[in-house]
Every structure is written in C-alpha cells, then in structure tokens.
C-alpha cells in the first residue's frame, strides 16, 4: 500500500486515547473529503479497534493514512499491538464471540462497516488489524 504522507498515529493506553484516535482519524477523513456517513463509520471503527487494543493487549497504536489506488482514494485504519495475539481469527470474526463479556460485535462490525478488512495475528507476538474505507 502506498503511503502518501499525512499519517496519523495515536498511542492507545487509556480510554482518553480512544477519543483522541477517533478525533484524529475523523479529521484525516474530513481532509480526504469523506461525507458524514463515512466519517461516522471511520470514527466508530477506530473506536472499536482502539477499545480492543486496551481490552486485549493493554496498549497499542491506531495508525491512519490516505491510500491512493487510481482511480480510487480512501483511508486506511490500522490497529497494531504486541499483545497475546488471537489464536483463532475465524472465531473472533463471528458476531457475538467475546472473551471479555462485551457484545462481541467489534471486529465483525468493523469488517461490515469498512470496505476491506484483514487481520494478521501471531500468538505471543501481537496482532495487526487493517481496514480500508474507499471514497464513494
């Protein structure tokens, strides 16, 4: 994926940082010309991913950057941690699966909201979730 500058990166260590990441991601979305519905989807996805970082990995980073794959333009949202990893990636993508007592809608919900979605997880070494929202 081509990085075209303008990367925003927010360290997630507390619930306050979730708000900061949401705000930064939304502002990047505004700069890229996304409409209100997409901006809400981007902010909500960041919120879910950032909370997962806190819940399962204690901390991590949310990184957002513009993507330009002619003729499409979009935003990449990445959640990166060095936590315990996800042993069964298929399971966490099922609605209602949760080990934290939550609703279990986080990851499958983000996958539904965004246009592209990928998880790479190495048990014991960490997880990277990458999602893309294309404009239009």
Partner 1 sequence: MQVPILKQGPYLIASVQAALRDADLIALRNALTEQVGTYRSRGVIVDVTAMDVLDSFACRTLSEIASMIRLRGAQTVIVGIQPEVAFSMVQLGLKLEGVATVLDLEEGLKYMERRTKRMDHGRYGK
DSSP string, 61-88: EEEEEEEEETTEEEEEEEEEE-SS--S-
Q: By CB under 8 A, is residue 136 in contact with partner 1?
A: no
Q: By CB under 8 A, is residue 59 in contact with partner 1?
A: no
Q: Which residue has the tokens 């927010």?
A: 10
Sheet holding 72-81, edge to edge: 8-12, 60-69, 72-81, 126-134, 116-122
d(C-alpha 58, C-alpha 84), whole Å: 10
- Minimal distance, residue 95 CB to partner 1, in Å: 6
Q: Rule CB under 8 A: which of 27-56 touch partner 1?
A: 36-37, 39-41, 43-44, 47-48, 51
| Of 1 and 103, CB closest to partner 1 | 103
Joined together, the tokens standing for residue 33 give 């010309």
Where do contacts with partner 1 occur on this chain (CB under 8 A)?
15-16, 18-19, 22-23, 26, 36-37, 39-41, 43-44, 47-48, 51, 95, 102-103, 105-106, 108-110, 112-113
């Amino acid at each position: 994926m081509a990085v075209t500058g303008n990367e925003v990166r927010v360290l997630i260590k507390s619930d306050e940082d979730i708000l900061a990441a949401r705000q930064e991601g939304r502002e990047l979305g505004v700069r890229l010309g996304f409409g209100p519905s997409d901006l809400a989807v981007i902010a909500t996805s960041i919120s879910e991913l950032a909370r997962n970082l806190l819940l399962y990995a204690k901390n991590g980073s949310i990184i957002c950057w513009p993507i330009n794959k002619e003729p499409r333009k979009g935003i990449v949202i990445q959640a990166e941690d060095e936590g315990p990893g996800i042993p069964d990636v298929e399971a966490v993508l099922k609605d209602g699966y949760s080990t934290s007592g939550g609703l279990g809608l986080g990851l499958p919900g983000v996958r539904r909201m965004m246009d592209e979605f990928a998880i790479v997880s190495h048990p014991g070494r960490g997880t990277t979730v990458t999602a893309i929202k294309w404009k239009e």
